[in-house]
Structure 1
Amino acid sequence: MSDAAGDRNGFCYRHPDRQSFVLCQRCGRTICGECQTPAPVGVICPECMKEQRAQAPKTKPAVLTRMRSASGRGAPVVTYSLIGVTVAVFLLQLVPGLGVTNWLYFTPLAVSDIHLEPWRLITTVFVHSTALIFHVLLNMYTLWIFGQLLEGLLGRWRFLALYLIAGLGGSVGVVWLSDPNTSVVGASGAIFGLMGAFLVIQRRLGGQTTQLFVLLAINLVIGFVPGWNIAWQAHLGGLAVGALVGWIFVETRKRDQRGLQIGLLVGLTALLLVASLRYVYFPLLG
């Protein structure tokens, strides 16, 4: 009869001085309490656990997982993302010393023969007045309302294109209708573009538009109230361009017209970029 103390099968393979009668469920080796990791059935040793983790599928960050889950359920993730980015930028604007507003606001001279900072044509829709929190809250509330409607109707990529192109249109409106030294911030141009597109789509599809007309009229009139310092030029530019994008979507909604739709959107964007260069090619008009 062999001596139990000399039988290695009854001792932990990692700690030979520790007797145990528990086996790894994967490799069958003896493991002590310190080396045991609970498994769905029994326990496994450290080496098997390491191998199991290496073979497990890589998981993505929780934020991406939740966004993908929401996307699969048809949630307006682009709308939520635009609101999230805008709110995050607004909070950064409040941090002293960062100068976020100075980097992102728009002025017609940002695309002139004096300065060349074309990113401001778009980045201005993500910054708001820090002196009036009502500014960002009202814009984001309106984006939340129309974003849910239009993103579900158009699809995510078309909706994002509409928002950005309308925002670009708002900046071009400021270039041609404002003093060159004007400075503007806010998503109003892009949001008026959403309303313009929704109006065109609703009318084309036979929907009710009376309330939307009233809402648009009220907001346009507010823009002209003396002393309110509202960039009505961005409102008009965004509204006109948004309505045009909406018309493009309606008239090219068939599957075999997708190429035409993309071409028209690219052409419109290029035209707006050229129009934004007023003070580069037509400085005398300023």
Structure 2
Amino acid sequence: MTTSEFHANPDNFCYRHPGRQSFVLCQRCMRTICPECQTQAPVGVICPECMQEQRRNQTPAQRRANRRWGARSMTAVGGRPMVTYWILAITSAVSLLQFVPGIGGFLTSNLSFWAGYLYPSLSGAPFEPWRLLTALLVHGGFIHLGLNMLALWMIGQILEPLIGRAKFLTLYLVSGLGGSVAMALIDPAQSTVGASGAIFGLFVALIVIGRHLGGNIIGALVVLAINFVYGFLVPGIAWQAHVGGAVVGALVALIYVRTSGRGTTKFWWIGLVSALVLVLLAVVAIVPPLLITAGH
């Protein structure tokens, strides 16, 4: 293509600023736009006209979400749920190593959670409280891993861009902590692995926040109920972690909802979630010693 042909082609220039060369297209109308006219979308960029049309077509729930949560997290790094991807990648890598002979047993025995690791004077096990969270990295099999990671990927695509990366990561970890604490309280003799408690926390948080924004949550409630019932009916599933993660996830979501305004409440969620973590640790620290059974 000659220089004259290049300059004669309007597709090589921004449709709003004909003198500005660009090769980036609006993902909705497919017209060329320059950097000044680009607004980051979950996938690609969109032009100002498409952005205005998108805002006009928003539902009342979506408008409330934008007002309450702001658009900062939606536009950061293309709106991609990077924390979700990192959790998925790290957890999958560690869990898949469990299938490697000579490594899998070591990982499982050193990362799984059992209440005895919190009470060395009673159990004879070493004091390893970090297992409350490291249990999220290992799983009981490929199906267990696959189902949890699929749920994480599906929920993270919606929830992380809505509440932001810091809040999403905090929600995931604190919900996972809640699942482990529930195991220590309800069934201290049972060891556990898996991110199910954290996943249930994300699921319930999505329902709580969606309900607060006026969204339709009936479908999510049905799926959550099915998963709860499945956990109770099928042997070998740590339903205690599901319950603990769900309860803590709901509490964290309520904190987010109540502190999501502007001004002085901006960072209250950090203090309130920190207080919740301290309460969880205090509760698990005062579990009656008689609940701790010998043997693992």
TM-score, normalising length from structure 2? Answer: 0.69
Q: Deviations over 1:75-107 (max 9, x none)?
A: 111000000001110122122223011110011
The residue aligned with 2:177 is: 168
Structure-to-structure mapping, 1:118-133, within 5 angstroms: 118-129=129-140, 132-133=141-142
Is 1:157 the counterpart of 2:157 in the alignment?
no
The CA distance in 1 between the partners of 2:209 and 2:146, in whole Å, is: 26
The CA distance in 2 between the partners of 1:136 and 1:152, in whole Å, is: 24
Deviation at 1:113, TM superposition (A): 3.7
Q: Deviations over 1:177-208 (max 9, x none)?
A: 11x22011011000000011111111111111
Is 1:246 the counterpart of 2:248 in the alignment?
no
Q: Secondary structure at the match of 2:248?
A: helix
The CA distance in 1 between the partners of 2:169 and 2:108, in whole Å, is: 23
Using the TM superposition, name which of 115-124 and 244-253 deviates more.
115-124
Unaligned runs of 5+ in 2: 1-74
The residue aligned with 1:211 is: 219
Instruction: State percent identity of aligned pairs.
Output: 48
The CA distance in 2 between the partners of 1:224 and 1:159, in whole Å, is: 27
Deviation at 1:226, TM superposition (A): 4.4
Q: 1:112·1:278 contact (CA, 8 Å) conserved in 2?
A: no
Structure-to-structure mapping, 1:72-83, within 5 angstroms: 72-83=77-88
The residue aligned with 2:272 is: 264
Is 1:116 the counterpart of 2:116 in the alignment?
no
Deviation at 1:143, TM superposition (A): 0.2
Q: Secondary structure at the match of 2:110?
A: helix
Is 1:144 the counterpart of 2:150 in the alignment?
no
The CA distance in 1 between the partners of 2:291 and 2:92, in whole Å, is: 37
Deviation at 1:246, TM superposition (A): 0.4
Q: 1:146·1:195 contact (CA, 8 Å) conserved in 2?
A: yes
2:244 pairs with 234, 237, 246, which one? 237
The residue aligned with 2:93 is: 88
The CA distance in 2 between the partners of 1:105 and 1:163, in whole Å, is: 17
Aligned residues: 211
**Residue type of the alignment partner of 1:124:** A
Deviation at 1:285, TM superposition (A): 4.6
Is 1:134 the counterpart of 2:143 in the alignment?
yes
Q: 1:224·1:230 contact (CA, 8 Å) conserved in 2?
A: yes
The residue aligned with 2:26 is: none
The residue aligned with 1:16 is: none
**Residue type of the alignment partner of 1:162:** L
Is 1:283 the counterpart of 2:289 in the alignment?
yes
Deviation at 1:109, TM superposition (A): 1.2
Deviating above 4 A after TM superposition, structure 1's stretches of 4 or more consecutive aligned residues are: none
Q: Deviations over 1:22-48 (max 9, x none)?
A: xxxxxxxxxxxxxxxxxxxxxxxxxxx
The residue aligned with 1:57 is: none
Deviation at 1:238, TM superposition (A): 0.2
Unaligned runs of 5+ in 1: 1-69
Q: Which has the larger radius of gyration?
A: 1
**Residue type of the alignment partner of 1:207:** G
Is 1:196 the counterpart of 2:201 in the alignment?
no
The CA distance in 2 between the partners of 1:183 and 1:203, in whole Å, is: 35
Structure-to-structure mapping, 1:48-59, within 5 angstroms: none
Q: 1:175·1:278 contact (CA, 8 Å) conserved in 2?
A: no
The CA distance in 2 between the partners of 1:285 and 1:187, in whole Å, is: 24
Q: 1:176·1:278 contact (CA, 8 Å) conserved in 2?
A: no
**Residue type of the alignment partner of 2:167:** R
TM-score, normalising length from structure 1? Answer: 0.71
**Residue type of the alignment partner of 1:110:** Y
**Residue type of the alignment partner of 2:110:** W
Q: Secondary structure at the match of 1:185?
A: coil
- What do you get for the CA RMSD once the two structures are aligned? 1.5
1:183 pairs with 184, 191, 202, which one? 191
